[in-house]
Chain A
Amino acid sequence: MSVFDVVDGRFVATELASGPWDPNAQIGGAPAALLARAFESVPAADGLILGRLTYDFIRPAPIGPVSVRASVARDGRRVQLLEGAMLAGGVDVVRARALRVHRASAGAGASQGNPPPGPDAGRTGELPGLHRPRFATDANEVRFVEGGFGGGPGTAWFRLTCPLVGDEQATPIQRLAAAADFGAGLSSALPRERYIFINVDLTVYMDREPVGEWICLSSETRIAGGGIGVAESVLFDECGRVGRATQALLIAPR
């Protein structure tokens, strides 16, 4: 089973795409990965690599048929700006931009930091949510290194265990996009019975392209008085640091 089936050339989000809040809505990581796949298929000049993905989750993305589009908004030999969207029933549900930048030709070697202890050293654990199947529990394997899911700052490894589309193997960038959206859930300290805390966007900066199947998030949520909640996650693969994910949160009493 896959997160998205392909039926008559269209994508159909399966139950494996569903998030923790609503069994009929996709978790952000599912459209994030599918749009990353669409961006990966847009040709670019030699030497350009993905540096940033930005997603605005403007409406709930439904379980069921969706389409994605991706195109070049500004082409160049050294920088390329891409735009994409996920549509359902003809309406935009996610808007995205991606930035490709030419590989740095000097200065490399600033400290990348070691990754946290690997997935083998982590624990399995409970993930909040009432319905099954869903993305976090049934399309992913999770290993906690510090903290649990919810309850403040935490560190965990994630591995997509099923194909993203049809029977295709997910690429490392698709895996990174799928995992990067877990930061808010991983690090939230608010009680789920009393508050909703839904991320309305996701920004992923990549220092380099990730490798392998496991992605680690070391996440923290900060909510300033009279301000806006922001979850930040340093992203790692098994070789070290690969970037940072940031999510702005809509926080409201239930």
Chain B
Amino acid sequence: MSEAPVFSVADGQFVASQLSRGPWDPNAQHGGAAAALIVRAFEGLPAPEGLGLARVTYEFVRPAPVGPVEVHADIVRPGKRVQLLEATMVADGVEVVRARGLRVLTADAAAVDGDGGPPPPGPEHGKPAQIRPPHRPMFAFDAIEIMFVTGSWGGGPSTAWFRLRSPIVEGETPSPLQRLAAAGDFGNGISATLSWDEYLYINPDLTLYIEREPVGEWICLSSETRISADGIGIAESVLYDSRGRVGRATQALLVAPR
């Protein structure tokens, strides 16, 4: 793992580095960077034994800047079997991301039902993304390694593996859930159907459902963007680790000419 982090820590604040940058604006973070840092804040909140993170919903209410940010997270509804969590990312006193997390008691083994199926072919069978990044360094490619097993960047339905190369926070090894959140925001990018030069297809939200905690460093997304006549765009991604299915990521899309 390269040592340069996505977020460094200075005076008790996080500072988003250029490794956090998204594709749309060189001064704004990728949703996956903010998503992973917020998951880390949720992981810092205590929980009764046996509860696992089942869902995180993010609202990207304003661009999250490269530079200093704070993250605040709280338990808004405590419980032995269900906990509701809320978090915000704040930059310069203004909220830029609002999130809710839901922790639920994990099911006992006797209740197991439904096979999520095997994972797609592994990253060793994949090809690196063939794309010219809009700026460097950035979250995709520099903080995250991406290997396509089917499809290609922006060529419609695609399947790709993602591996965080950089620490999310300086000096820390990312947890499996942080890796999942970092990768979970790429569905609209890898499955886009519209020309990058002519259109925006930016996601104002991201919902992660997590059926079980992932293992290992690689997370796979099998993604599809659907734009409905007289409707909006939605990108859906089934999430896998090396053992099989772990959940789903969904993003609503603002689709507009640039």
Where the two chains meet, the residues of A that have a C-beta atom closer than 8 Å to any C-beta of B are 49, 51-52, 54, 56, 58-59, 73-74, 78-79, 81, 95, 97, 99, 101-112, 189-190, 195, 200-201, 203, 205-209, 220-230, 232, 243-244, 246, 248-253
- A104 contacts B233, C-beta separation under 8 Å: yes
Kindly list chain B residues whose C-beta atoms are within 8 Å of the C-beta of A81.
59, 61, 98, 204
Alpha-carbon gap, A224 to B209, bound state (A):
12
Q: How far is the CB of A254 from chain B (nearest CB, A)?
A: 12
Range, interface on chain B: 35 or more
- B105 contacts A222, C-beta separation under 8 Å: no
- B111 contacts A195, C-beta separation under 8 Å: yes
Kindly list chain A residues whose C-beta atoms are within 8 Å of the C-beta of B54.
200-201, 228, 230, 248
Task: Tell which of B61, B102, B228 touches A108, judged by Cβ atoms closer than 8 Å.
Answer: B228
Kindly list chain B residues whose C-beta atoms are within 8 Å of the C-beta of A54.
57, 100, 207
Where the two chains meet, the residues of B that have a C-beta atom closer than 8 Å to any C-beta of A are 52, 54-55, 57, 59, 61-62, 77, 81-82, 84, 98, 100, 102, 104-109, 111-114, 116, 193-194, 199, 201, 204-205, 207, 209-213, 224-234, 236, 245-248, 250, 252-257
Nearest A-chain residue to B109, judged by Cβ: A225
- B211 contacts A227, C-beta separation under 8 Å: yes
Sample of 12 A–B contacts (CB below 8 Å):
A56-B77, A102-B254, A103-B231, A112-B229, A200-B54, A200-B104, A201-B54, A223-B107, A223-B111, A224-B112, A227-B212, A232-B248
Kindly list chain A residues whose C-beta atoms are within 8 Å of the C-beta of B224.
110
Task: Tell which of A208, A223, A226, A252 touches B232, judged by Cβ atoms closer than 8 Å.
Answer: A208
Alpha-carbon gap, A220 to B201, bound state (A):
29
Alpha-carbon gap, A253 to B108, bound state (A):
8
- B104 contacts A110, C-beta separation under 8 Å: no
What 4 pairs between A and B have smallest CB-CB spacing?
Answer: A208-B231, A227-B212, A222-B114, A104-B255
- A103 contacts B230, C-beta separation under 8 Å: yes
- B102 contacts A251, C-beta separation under 8 Å: no
Alpha-carbon gap, A95 to B113, bound state (A):
29
Alpha-carbon gap, A201 to B193, bound state (A):
31
